[in-house]
Chain A
Amino acid sequence: MSEKAALLDPMTGWVLLALFSLLWIGLGVYWGRRNKSFEDHALAGRNVGLALGSATAAATWITSNTTMLAPQFALELGIWGMLAYSMAAFGLLLFAPLAGRIRKLMPNGYTSGDFFRLRYGRFAWFIFLIFTLFYSLTWLVSMAMAGGILLNALSGIPYVWGMTVILTVCVIYTMRGGLMAVIGTDFIQSLIILVGIVIVGFSVLQNVSVEEIHTNLETNKPMLITVMFPAALMAIFNNLLFGLGEVFHNNVWWSRAFALREGVGGKAFAIAGLVWFPIPIAAGFIALASGALNVAVPSPDMVGPLVIADVLGGAGAIAIFIIVFCSLASSIDSLLAATSDLITEDVYRRLFHPMAQPESLKVVAQWITLGLGLFTWAVCVPRIGTLASVLFFAGPLVGAMIWPIVTGLYWRRANTTGAIGGMLLGGGIGLISYFQIGWYVASTIGTAVSMVWVLACALLSKTQFDWSRLKEGI
């Protein structure tokens, strides 16, 4: 196969794109019809149950990276790389107890920004907003760019058209349906992704045995099955800490903690983590089988689709197209919703319009969703290749927020000096190590520096935070 040949013809791609676009928009409009206030729109009325809660957490965490980058990790870093990617599941598993704690301490909270403002004051809140908006916007841009690139690679649909359609669809149903539409579509998308991955995994195993894969790797790619593989070892905890930082700080996850019915949050995130854990392993296994299946890989991020198309033929190409579309939509919609809520609550309401009414806040959130979509589209159109890699700069920034959040939720002695210093020192030194050493150490070093500072400040502090302050002023 030529590297430039798409797996599907463009007409099939357009038909699939049109069918799923209509489905998501239709469901978004249907689920959004009862939204009256900002609370309905942003937090689905704070009444989401266990099934929807688990599915939305799992689906949001299954990004296009899970289905495309996890195989790349396995192809580059072998068995350890596959497990390193799976370590991101601990973000969801460890957020499970935090979700319950957040719901208990902040029964009326809206965003993760509310926590930083009430717990550590306005300056820490300001730093948090810079870090989280940088992370959220680069994630959003990287997902939209990945959408255009992947739809082009899979079906030949021109990059700008593919990116525009997927972004437009997500903006429309998120604007109309709010978090309820996001959660509902996530439920269906997670089922499609899971069934697709299971079918693909079994199909690969029917074409090649584990012994054949092992023999091929031992002969041609020995480091992929070597225990003492330095780059892979370093990636394990770096990826775990990056994943923890992403989940612990971002409003995508806090908004779900606020939206879930009381007592449901812990179970929902734990189930989501367990469901998510094997997916990168299955996706990575597909990549490790590429040599035994004699599939040539012209680009590491395309190894997953190439193996699936080789094993399943035309049906496989359609399956991977649908899986990728669902993975992208389930992440882009969540980011749009959570980021627009954060800007509405933390910037529009808290800084400029403290007396704004719930009905008007809902309209503001919808306009901000549209604005975010337009901003993302404008940044993505030129297709600057290196832009997606900017997301990796966020590793030390999000890692530096882990300790201020965890100690701030459980320790009365955790204080503002610790939080501000932890974020600035951890983020700064982590970024320096990113450029001086490499991406595979940036999150580890950023989190380590932040941890030492936060712990030292807490141990030396005599302050006792009053938890009831988290309930006030919201």
Chain B
Amino acid sequence: MFFMIAAPLLLLFAFVAPAHAQVPAFTQSGPLESNAGHVMMEWNAGSAVSLEIATSPAFEDAQELYQGRNHAYFLSGLDGGTYYLRLTDEAGEQSETIKLAVVHQSLEQAIWLTVIGAIIALGIVAVIVRGARA
């Protein structure tokens, strides 16, 4: 009996419910970390969304990165620091803010490895050039 009443009501609700009823939400759980300044942001949303980034949790310096119906955005080239991201849909519903910490790898380690790589490469060139001349 309950099913006979509930089923049509549920169907009716499904048809009349607005498409943007789903509150936008990131699929990742924060806080996020990146050691190369890039991160893939993914979310679920029932309508078009606006993705914003800011350096303060209150979004005083918010900058819109993307506006549209995609469910992902690849963010790259970020300088070291702490960032905050949030989604806002067409109805003004906002996702929870997600925190992103960008801490780049050690520059000293990078320079050492670059120097080692250069020495190996020059060594290979030297063996080939000397061998080709002989």
Residues of A bordering B, CB below 8 Å: 1-3, 75-78, 90, 94, 97-98, 100-101, 217, 220-224, 226, 228-231, 233-234, 236-238, 240-241, 244, 296-300, 303, 402-403, 406-407, 409-411, 441, 444, 447-448, 451
Contacts and interface: CB of A to CB of B under 8 A. Distances in A.
Given A230-B107, A410-B127, A77 B36 contact: yes
5 contacts: A223-B77, A229-B37, A233-B107, A298-B74, A444-B116
A98 B110 contact: no
Contacts of B118: 237
A231 B114 CA distance: 11
Closest CB pairs A-B (n = 9): A237-B117, A221-B77, A410-B131, A230-B110, A224-B77, A231-B36, A298-B72, A230-B105, A233-B110
B91 to A, nearest CB: 20
Contact of B113 (A220, A237, A244, A406): A237
Contacts of B127: 406-407, 410-411
Interface string B4-35: 00000000000000000000000000000001
Contacts of B1: none
A78 B63 CA distance: 21
B79 A298 contact: no
A244 B124 contact: yes
Contacts of A441: 113
B114 A234 contact: yes
A1 B67 CA distance: 11
Interface in B69-125: 69-74, 76-79, 104-107, 109-111, 113-114, 116-118, 120-121, 123-125
A234 B125 contact: no
Contact of B114 (A237, A244, A402): A237
A411 B131 CA distance: 8
A428 to B, nearest CB: 18
A444 B76 contact: no
A322 to B, nearest CB: 25
B19 to A, nearest CB: 14
Q: Is the interface of A mostly helix, strand, loop or mixed?
A: helix
Given A230-B109, A234-B110, A101 B117 contact: no
B113 A234 contact: yes
A299 B74 contact: yes
Given A2-B70, A94-B124, A402-B124, A222 B113 contact: no
Contacts of B104: 223, 229-231
Contacts, number: 132
B58 interface: no
Contact of B38 (A76, A226, A228, A238): A76
A446 B102 CA distance: 29
B105 A234 contact: yes
A2 B79 CA distance: 29
Contacts of A2: 69-70
A296 B113 contact: no
A224 B35 contact: no
A41 B96 CA distance: 63
A97 B131 CA distance: 9
Contacts of A100: 132
Contact of A228 (B107, B113, B116, B123): B107
A75 B76 contact: yes
Contacts of A1: 68, 70
Nearest to A414: B127
A354 B40 CA distance: 54
A138 to B, nearest CB: 23
Contacts of B36: 76-77, 231
B74 A448 contact: no
B78 A223 contact: yes
Contacts of B132: 97, 100-101
Nearest to A95: B128
Contacts of B120: 237, 241, 444, 447-448, 451
B39 to A, nearest CB: 10
Contact of A298 (B70, B78, B111, B116): B70
Given A2-B70, A76-B76, A233 B124 contact: no
Nearest to B114: A233
Contact of B73 (A221, A229, A241, A297): A297
Contact of B116 (A3, A97, A221, A448): A448
A301 B66 CA distance: 18
Contacts of B110: 230-231, 233-234
Nearest to B35: A231
A226 B107 CA distance: 12
Nearest to B117: A237
Given A75-B38, A233-B113, A237-B114, 20 more contacts: A76-B76, A78-B77, A101-B132, A221-B76, A221-B77, A223-B37, A223-B78, A223-B79, A226-B79, A228-B107, A231-B36, A233-B107, A236-B117, A238-B117, A241-B117, A298-B70, A298-B73, A406-B124, A441-B113, A448-B116
